[in-house]
Every structure is written in structure tokens, then in C-alpha cells.
Structure 1
Amino acid sequence: MANANPNEQSLIGHLGELRQRLIRTLVSFVVAMAAAFIYVKDIYRWLVRDMDHQLVLLGPSDVVWVYMMIAGVVAIAITLPIAAYQIWKFVQPAVPKQAQQATLLFIPGICLLFIIGICFGYFILFPMVLHFMTQMAAGSFNTMYTADKYFTFMIHMTVPFGLLFEMPAIVMFLTKLGILNPTRLAKARKLAYFILAIVAITITPPDILSDLIVIVPLFLLYEISITISKLVYRKQLTHSAAA
């Protein structure tokens, strides 16, 4: 009987490990969502604390959907460090030993950046866009928000920025793995700026001030990512030269 191909055995082993880590992440998300659902009414009351009137439900199942959305976002925030740790453990064998401790620091960094991005969307972008929309409707329409539409709109204004603000941590991690370097990032600057500007203009009201409020932080994030990549890359070159 012919011996099994070592490469195939290695691939099967990696796929098995990846499956286990995905299952652990999924279980963590489900547990976090169940826990968030217990306190979802309190979270809901805090999110609508500044509204002058109650939101409207158009169907009996809408309240479940709204609570699921809120609990889902909370669960994502809780699960993020667990997912980052599972990714780290999966790629750890590919990271040089001298870089492993420093790379592990990207996990709290990811959590912090996600929270900052969510706060930027919720406290700055969301009220700005909502005010603009309300002013457009004033005098012409009787404004009445449904809970479903309101929270869908809120999530669209916050969660994407939580993910976009992960850029520096992801760049640091990919630089550690040798996938990115500062030269590649600098060459891609024009394309990256164009994409980020399109994203900002798409989700903000059609005025230059609103666009700048979103564009400038995104551009700064990209420049910070390049700086981080430079620092990591230089440190790697120093270690390689000393070896």
C-alpha cells in the first residue's frame, strides 16, 4: 500500500485545525449573543434615551428582529478578541519566534480600535447624518421612525467604521507575516485614498464638511498603518541582519 502524501496529510491537519477554531469562535458568538439578549432591553433604552418619541413597530415579530440586531452587534464586539486569538493560534507556527510576543499584542489593539470606530460612528457620524435627514424631511413629511429601520440605519453608520478602524492592527499583523510591507502600502496610497473617499462620500450627507469629517480620519488611519508597517518592517530587517 502506497504511503500517504505528507503534503496532503499536512493540508488535512490544517483544515481540521481551522474547522475547530471556527467552531470555537461560532460557539463564543452564540454564547455572547445569548448573554447580550438577557440585557438587550436595557441596551435598547440607552440607545433611544435622547429620542422625543417612541419608535414604531409594524409587526409582532419586529421587536424580536430589533433585539436580535442589538444583541448581535454586542456579541460581535465580545467575540472579536476571541476570533482574533483563534486566528493568531492558527497562524502562530508561521510567525518567527522573536516576533510572536509582539504580534500577540494585536489582539487588544483590535478590540480597542473596533470600539473607537463604533464610538466614532455612533457619537459623530450617526447623529450628524440623522440630523441632516430629519432637516430634509422637516415641513414636508410627518416623520415617524420604525424600530427596524432606525436600528438598521444605526448599524450601517457604526459597524462598518468599527471594521475600518481595524486597519492599523491588520496591517501590523500582515506585515509581521511578510504579506505586506510599507513599500507596497505607499504604492497603493492613491488607490486606497480613492476607495476610502468613495466610502466616506457614499455614507455621509452631500456636503463637503460632512465628507471631510469622515474622510480625514480614514486617511489618517491609512497613514498610521503605513507608519506602523515601517516600524515593524525595520525591526524585522534588524533581526534578520543580526541573525
Structure 2
Amino acid sequence: MRTEDLDQKSQSLYEHLGELRFRLVRMVWILLIATGICYHFSEPVFDFIRAPIAPYLPGGGLIYTGPLDKFMAHIKIAFVCGIIVSCPLWLYQVWKFVAPGLYQNERKYSMGFIIAGSGLFVSGAAFSYYVVLPMAFHFLMNYGGTTDKAMISIEQYLGFFTQMCLMFGVSFELPLIISILGMMGLVSQKFLKDKRRYAIMTLAVAAAIITPPDLMSMVMMLIPMVLLYEIGVIMVGIFERKRETEIRQNQRE
């Protein structure tokens, strides 16, 4: 390989790493600002977060054992809310990093990427809050009878709640991730269809790891993830047909 080619590749890699650093720094600033804004609303948000487990707690409240526990809980709440509220902004940074690897005509989908990504993330978090968590708590808090009473700490609950909402939010981005990989030419609709059984197996393992240790919660996560995978397969096929049509049109011209 010629020295000029090596220099060009090194320069290209250096530029990509520089762009990645630039976008990550911007995302950090976005999250910090959003967290600061959300901190002022942490009290009513905390009441909202506590609601799914409140019926199973003595007095409807969580406990804390350290003087800083409640303060740190509000910081964590503000951070999670900052992630959700600023979703369109940090997704835009992700798109700006990915866009150079796409065809010129595919870069016009930036607004659709941001809207779809934000909607999917919020939908995943909402699905976790309104569907999965109530079912999980009903099973976990009633398991073994009602003689024993739960005393859950703020730290334990927020860790569990945050993990569930964020993981469901990220998992609901699956069709968007698959679509981008397809637009970049890294996967094809045929490849996704041929590897469907392996994909479903991987999703089942992921659902078992992420959700609480009960079958119902796992199934409640696996079903939408499989549906989202199939949506991603359809979207990749649509983009492939559009690309082939545009290539034929360019060849005629």
C-alpha cells in the first residue's frame, strides 16, 4: 500500500475520532444543562416515580439510611429526566456523527431520525412505567404471601427503576438502529431475514438479563422487541428499494 494511502487513512481515522470527541462533549453539555433544569422539578417527579411501588410500601414511602441518600436520589432523578427531556438534542448529535457515512440523498432523513428516535425512546420508558413495572411489582411484592412487609430504600428502588426505564427506552430504538445500519450498507433485508432466529434468541437473552426474574416481565419485553425487529427489517427493505430506484434513475440520466 502506498504511503499516500496510509496517510489518507490515518487522517480519516483521526478526523472521525475528533468528530466523535466533539459530539460526545456536546452531548455531555446537553445532559448537564438538562439535568440542572430538571433538578428544579425533582420533587413532583419523585412522587411520579414512586407511584408504581407506593401501594406495596408501609405508609407509601421509601426509606433511606444515610444523610445524603435523599439528596443523591434527587440528583439521579434529575439526571434521568435530563436524558429523556433532552432526547431530541443528543439524538441530533448522534445523527450528525453518523450522517457522513450515508448517501447524500439519505441525509435528508435527519428530522425523521430525531422524531422517531425521541418517540421510540419515550415510548420504551413509558411502556416500562405503565405496563412492566406494575406487573413486576405485583409479582415480586406479593411473592411468598403478605405477612412480611417491604422496606425498600430509595437507592435500591431508584437503581431498579432507572435501569428498567432506560433499558426499555434504549431497546425500543432497535428499528432505528437497524434502519441506520441498513442505510450504511452494513446489513441487508435478506441478511436480517436469514438471521432472524439468531436475532430472536439474542433478544430473548437480553430480555432475561434486563427484566426482573419473572417470566411475565421477560415476555412483556421480548414481544415488543421482536415486533420492533420486524419493523426494522421492513424499513431496511424500503430504503434498499428507494436506493435501487434512485440508482436506476441516475444511470438513465
Q: Supply the distance in 1 between the matched residues of 2:98 and 2:71 (Cα, whole angstroms).
A: 38
The answer to whether the aligner puts 1:206 opposite 2:208 as a matched pair is no
1:60 to 1:125, Cα distance in 2 relative to 1, 3 A:
same
Residues 196 and 215 in structure 1, CA contact (< 8 A), matched pair in contact too: yes
Aligned pair count reads 241
Measured after TM superposition, the shift of residue 215 of structure 1 is 2.3
Q: Of residues 113, 116, 136 in structure 2, which corresponds to 1:109?
A: 116
The answer to whether the aligner puts 1:69 opposite 2:71 as a matched pair is no
Q: Of residues 134, 138, 150 in structure 2, which corresponds to 1:143?
A: 150
Could you give the per-residue CA deviations for residues 7-64 of structure 1, whole angstroms, max 9, x where no partner exists? 4334333332322221111111111111111111121122224625211111111112
Q: Which runs of 5+ in 1 are unaligned?
A: none
Q: Of residues 40, 44, 47 in structure 2, which corresponds to 1:45?
A: 47
Q: Of residues 128, 141, 146 in structure 2, which corresponds to 1:134?
A: 141
Residue equivalent to 1:173 = 180
Measured after TM superposition, the shift of residue 103 of structure 1 is 4.7
Could you give the per-residue CA deviations for residues 92-135 of structure 1, whole angstroms, max 9, x where no partner exists? 33322222112541111100000000011111001111111111
Residues 25 and 79 in structure 1, CA contact (< 8 A), matched pair in contact too: no
Q: Supply the distance in 1 between the matched residues of 2:67 and 2:120 (Cα, whole angstroms).
A: 37
1:197 to 1:18, Cα distance in 2 relative to 1, 3 A:
closer
Normalised TM-score (structure 1)? 0.89
Matched residue of 1:138: which SS? coil
Could you give the per-residue CA deviations for residues 194-239 of structure 1, whole angstroms, max 9, x where no partner exists? 12222334424534x5543332212111111111111111111111
Residue equivalent to 2:231 = 224
Residues 57 and 147 in structure 1, CA contact (< 8 A), matched pair in contact too: yes
Q: Supply the distance in 2 between the matched residues of 1:210 and 1:25 (Cα, whole angstroms).
A: 32
Letter in 2 for 1:212: V
Question: RMSD of the TM alignment (CA)?
Answer: 2.3
Matched residue of 1:47: which SS? helix
Q: Supply the distance in 1 between the matched residues of 2:198 and 2:110 (Cα, whole angstroms).
A: 27
Measured after TM superposition, the shift of residue 80 of structure 1 is 2.9
Q: Of residues 214, 231, 242 in structure 2, which corresponds to 1:235?
A: 242
Normalised TM-score (structure 2)? 0.86
The answer to whether the aligner puts 1:90 opposite 2:97 as a matched pair is yes
Greater CA drift, 196-205 or 125-134 = 196-205
The answer to whether the aligner puts 1:8 opposite 2:10 as a matched pair is yes
1:10 to 1:199, Cα distance in 2 relative to 1, 3 A:
closer
Q: Which runs of 5+ in 2 are unaligned?
A: none
Greater CA drift, 154-163 or 124-133 = 154-163
Greater CA drift, 95-104 or 120-129 = 95-104
Measured after TM superposition, the shift of residue 137 of structure 1 is 4.5
Q: Of residues 118, 122, 125 in structure 2, which corresponds to 1:118?
A: 125
Identity of aligned residues (%): 29
Residue equivalent to 2:195 = 188
